[in-house]
Chains A and B, each alone.
Chain A
Amino acid sequence: MSTVTLFGLCASALVGLGLYGALTHPQPLRKLIAFNLLGSGVFLLFGVFARRGAWQSVGGDPVPQALVITGIVVAFAATALAVALLLRLHKESGEATLDPPAPAGASTERRSP
């Protein structure tokens, strides 16, 4: 199994891990971290395809690499916006959750969504 295949399998596993975290974590901040994990796994897959496009003295196809650089910067911008939204939600409501507030008098044990 060559390096490229090994890293490609690692990237597939990262995508799965990130997706699982984004789906199951109750806290939005943890979902955000898992989403970033998912994104970086996808970028790594791009990198694997770029590496396969190596030619002569150029180590990898430069176009996917440039796309990944753009992607990393845009992912950071989106994460910053998401964190700002989350912090504002926390400041307004005192909680950092997307679940609706429990109606007054209801028990604390709720059925999961």
Chain B
Amino acid sequence: MSLTYVLESVLALLVLGAAAWTIAARSAFAAAVGFVSYGLLLSLMWVQLAAVDVALTEAAIGGGLTGVLLLGAVATLRGTEARTNRRPALPLRVLAAACCVLVSVALAVVVLTLPESGPTLAPQAVAALPATGVGNPVTGVLMAFRGFDTLLEKVVLVLALVGVWSLAPDRYWGGHPGLEHRLPADGVLPFFARTLPPLGVLLGIHLMWTGADNPGGAFQGGTVLAAMWLVVMMAGVRDAPAIRELWLRLSLVSGPVVFVAVGLAGMLTAGAFLAYPIAIAKPLILLIEVPMLLTIALALGLLVTGPPERTADPR
């Protein structure tokens, strides 16, 4: 029973405890806070599973951004909590619990009866990695071997954003998301919003750049950039842009458009959609990643700020 094993057991128990607290908490605020701490503990579990890229993504998006989203929603919905408190009757809850225990036990049986070694694509991925020019296998899979999934994911992000925007009342269409934040310019939060973002932007770009050979990548870097932008907006240092701005819309679609363009060019130069000619594979991946970073940062930030709630200034 090595020390690492003790650490991992304690970690698993903590994660289960945080999850149980999130489900059982009385108020939605407690549940949201519990969810954020659960996300951070979960990213530690991902590190123990030798998946550092996933740990970065879970901590940033699963813990951080989702937490911001949920806490904002909890604050808005605080008044309605008392009125929506009618839990289902006890027999129904017992039945639901029994079904959930059944599902858990089925999954646990699957986990316990796994064969000694499972199928894996790691050898093929590692063998094909030098052709792409990147050193991190996960980045290779995301950008080259399963690039189509990443392209579709980008489109999903933009579509979700369009869905969120479409929930605005007609009179606010094209306006600024969220309410205006006005804080005294010498307050604590504006100071924070002027100190951290320069370093944070550098960190975000570095995360994307180093994702080629080390854990990291465009998603993690884009999330850091989105977080810096959110801090700046929440401190009132800069207002949220009006969604009808042309630069905003062009930047949002630049990620998927460049990706699709490279894919179509691949049909002409390398024989299949999203095939990269081996000689220029790495520069092509970089060419895709930079607009992708911009799209991810903008889309994630705007998903958190929500639909427009103010009209845009008249031109």
Contacts and interface: CB of A to CB of B under 8 A. Distances in A.
In the complex, A touching B (Cβ < 8 A): yes
Interface of A: 3-21, 23-27, 29-30, 32-34, 36-37, 40, 43-45, 47-56, 58-63, 65-70, 72-81, 83-88, 90, 94-97, 99, 110, 112-113
Closest A-B pairs by Cβ, 8 of them? A59-B50, A53-B120, A16-B104, A8-B111, A12-B107, A77-B160, A62-B137, A80-B303
Q: Which of A7, A30, A33, A60 has the most chain B CB within a 10 Å cutoff?
A: A33
Q: For chain A, what secondary structure do more than half of its interface residues adopt (helix, strand, loop), or is it mixed?
A: helix
Contacts of A55: 120, 122-123, 126
Contacts of A85: 167
A95 B83 CA distance: 8
Contact of A27 (B8, B28, B103, B126): B28
A86 B121 CA distance: 41
B125 A63 contact: yes
A17 B20 contact: yes
A87 B48 CA distance: 37
Contact of B77 (A11, A59, A61, A86): A86
A24 B23 CA distance: 10
Contact of A112 (B32, B49, B53, B86): B86
Nearest to A8: B111
Contact of A65 (B54, B61, B76): B54
B108 A44 contact: no
In this complex, the interface size class of chain B, counting residues with CB under 8 Å from chain A, is 35 or more
A7 B137 contact: no
Contacts of A90: 76-77, 80
29 contacts: A5-B111, A8-B107, A8-B108, A13-B104, A14-B16, A15-B107, A17-B16, A18-B23, A23-B100, A25-B23, A25-B87, A26-B86, A29-B77, A37-B38, A50-B49, A58-B125, A62-B141, A65-B53, A65-B141, A72-B61, A72-B62, A76-B61, A79-B69, A80-B160, A80-B304, A81-B160, A87-B76, A112-B86, A113-B88
Contacts, number: 287
Contacts of A80: 69, 160, 164, 303-304
B164 A70 contact: no
A76 B19 contact: no
B86 A110 contact: yes
B157 to A, nearest CB: 5
B100 to A, nearest CB: 4
Nearest to B109: A12
B311 interface: no
Nearest to B42: A40
A11 B81 contact: no
B89 A53 contact: no
Contacts of A87: 73, 76-77, 306
A81 B76 CA distance: 16
Given A6-B12, A88-B307, A51 B150 contact: no
